[in-house]
Amino acid sequence: MNFNLTKKQKIERACGYNPILKGIVIDQFNNFEKAKSFSLPKHNYEVGDNVKLKSDTIMHDLRDDRQFNFISQNGFIARDIFEKKSMSKYPRCINFYNVKKDRTLADYIDEYSGCSIRWLNKGKDEIHSQIIPFTKVHKEMIYNKNAWFAEQLKESRFMPCLQNDFSPIAFILDMSSKQGKQFMEANIAKESFDDDDARMFVSKLSFQRFVSKKHSHNSEFSDRESHVVYGIPKCFVEGILVNRDYEKKQEKLDMIKTAFPNAYICNLDGKVIVK
């Protein structure tokens, strides 16, 4: 990582000679720098409380402490701005998962820890699809289906979940404020974001599938991810979700609380364990 370049020089290098692309990224960079001093209202949770998520909540995963240190120091920034050799599917963007509706964290975890199934009914040509929450997998995924197959949800491969320990931490960001909503206007997966502009932020091999998903009106499967140009400051973090392993390690909880003193820490039961 080359720290001798200024941030704007790194952006210009990452955007090449395209002035439209460069303008979109630099506008978001300017928003990022202005919003660093923003503060979320102090949360009112006590240890043992159930976490409630707003529809404007987004979540971001990580796999190791090195990534945690980068985020705690710099915020959520597209890594290929810094790492020229990155092979991101969404270059110059940072990826998040959308909560989509007001709900408890426990319900959200249950849903994305499950699976998606597709099936073809006998005598019919329609292909049906459905998300099955973790607690209902054994009851619902087999019965009354013909020629079905199941697939792990993307969220459960990258965020702490009930079926594996791949990811230790997920950040919970509250984007419901005016400042937060402004950042989400730079989400290329937002239907109102121009497709021609979005093309500059999606790899060529992924673009057609990206557009199909973006304009899909299947409420269960669409709008599950945001790909935000450049990044989002860490000041929007309201809480941090940990897996079962981190929940048992006081040194890990202390590390998280030191880096994010105003954020609560919660577990896979959707309950606050450190306020």
- Are 118 and 127 spatial neighbours (Cβ–Cβ below 8 Å)? yes
Q: What is the pLDDT of residue 2?
A: 47
From the centroid of its chain, how far is CA 263?
Answer: 17
**Helix then strand then coil, % of the chain, to nearest 5:** 35, 25, 40
The least confident of 186-195, 212-221, 232-241 is: 212-221
Q: What is the pLDDT of residues 93-103, one digit of tens each?
A: 999 999 999 99
Which residues contact residue 122 at a Cβ distance below 8 angstroms, ignoring those fewer than 6 apart? 146
Residue 160's pLDDT band (boundaries 50, 70, 90)?
A: very high
Work out the average pLDDT over 203-221: 83
Question: Of all residues in the chain, what percent carry a pLDDT higher than 70?
Answer: 89
Q: What is the pLDDT of residue 9?
A: 81
Residue 88's pLDDT band (boundaries 50, 70, 90)?
A: confident
CA distance 176 to 159: 22
Work out the average pLDDT over 182-206: 94
Q: What is the pLDDT of residue 240?
A: 98
Residue 6's pLDDT band (boundaries 50, 70, 90)?
A: confident
Closest CA to 222 of 234, 212, 232: 212
Query: What is the DSSP annotation of 101-150?
Result: SSEEHHHHHHHHTSEEEEEE-TT---EEEEEE-GGGHHHHSSTT-SS-EE
Q: Phi then psi for 158, rounded to 5 degrees?
A: -120, -15
Q: Where do the structural domains in the chain lie, given as residue ranges? A: 7-103+155-274, 114-152
pTM for this structure? Answer: 0.89
Q: What is the pLDDT of residue 95?
A: 95
